[in-house]
Amino acid sequence: MLLTGRIPRHVGIIMDGNGRWAELRGLPRIEGHRRGTERVSEILEVAAELGVKALTLYAFSLENWQRPTSEVKTLMRLLELHLKKELPELMAKDIVFKTIGDIWRLPGEIQALIREIEEKTASNKGMALVAALSYSGRNEILRAVKKVLYSGVRPEELTEESFGSYLDTAGLPAPDLIIRTSGEMRISNFLLWQGAYSELYFTDTLWPDFTKEEFFLAIQDYQQRERRFGVISTRRDAP
């Protein structure tokens, strides 16, 4: 499928529905998470090919720590395996790897792995892959407010733009498109500040079934949208 027209600079994806995918097949939930990582590799590749500049994947929320210990443990193990496996791919595709979220809560080995991958890919020139790990938008905003307070910046100097530089996403454009799989119509604490004007795309498809064709559908849908940012439509004639 060929996509011509406007390609979103930054796409965020709330990768939801792994557990239901597995349960529907009588499999353990972790099998859904495992299948989900296969989609991550596929979507990453196709997004880079399309010319997306940043892809943020919501992989584990701060709230997800409250899941049963066994699920959290297997998710962490899967994350570690996936990160190790992806590194050569990231290098081959010239992708820069970044993370957002309360990373210090992750197991030490994963934090070390993240640092290593961030360092190794830092001078790459291609798409930014941003993994939202142990992430919550409110927590990110609160941490940013604390950084502002500690910085001693004068209140009258603080602008929306400068505040953005205290967020974990500093340097990244705001997401143009946020996709959520699995039929849930909510944001679940994802990119609350940055998503103020994002186009939202919801699909019933569960994340382990979200193939590149599904991604193309989301991009095509985005290409039909008119982004107005509060001003008057340029498409319709004035009355």
Pick between residue 166 and residue 201 the one whose CB is nearest to ligand IPE.
Answer: 201
Residue 188 C-beta: closest distance to ligand IPE, Å = 4
Please say whether the beta carbons of 134 and 60 come within 8 A: yes
Told to check if 222 binds ligand IPE by CB under 6 A, we report no
Out of 35, 58, 129, 176, which residue is the one contacting ligand IPE (CB under 6 A)? 58
Please say whether the beta carbons of 17 and 181 come within 8 A: yes
Binding partner selected for residue 18 from ligand IPE, Mg ion, none, CB under the kind-specific 5 to 8 Å limit = ligand IPE
* 87, burial (CB in 10 Å: exposed 0-12, middle 13-18, buried 19+): middle
Pick between residue 74 and residue 111 the one whose CB is nearest to ligand IPE.
Answer: 74
Q: Footprint of Mg ion on residues 10-39 (CB under 5 A)?
A: 16
Close Cβ partners of 90 (under 8 Å, ≥ 6 residues apart): 97, 117, 121, 124, 129
Angle, CA of 213, 186 and 68, to the nearest 5°: 95
Q: Which residue is nearest to ligand IPE (CB)?
A: 19
Told to check if 201 binds ligand IPE by CB under 6 A, we report no
Q: Which residue is nearest to Mg ion (CB)?
A: 16
Measure the CA–CA gap between 22 and 12, rounded to whole angstroms: 24
Told to check if 84 binds ligand IPE by CB under 6 A, we report no
Is 221 annotated in the active site? Answer: no
Strand partners, 54: 10, 128
Told to check if 20 binds ligand IPE by CB under 6 A, we report yes
> What does DSSP say about strands 10-14 and 54-61: parallel, antiparallel, or unpaired?
parallel
Angle, CA of 56, 148 and 191, to the nearest 5°: 20
Out of 8, 12, 17, 175, which residue is the one contacting ligand IPE (CB under 6 A)? 17
Of the residues 64, 102, 209, 221, only one is catalytic, namely 64
Out of 184, 197, 220, 228, which residue is the one contacting ligand IPE (CB under 6 A)? 184
Is 237 annotated in the active site? Answer: no
Three-class SS state of 175: coil
Applying CB under 6 A, the residues found at the interface with ligand IPE are: 14-20, 58-61, 64, 75, 182, 184, 186, 188
Catalytic residues: 16, 64
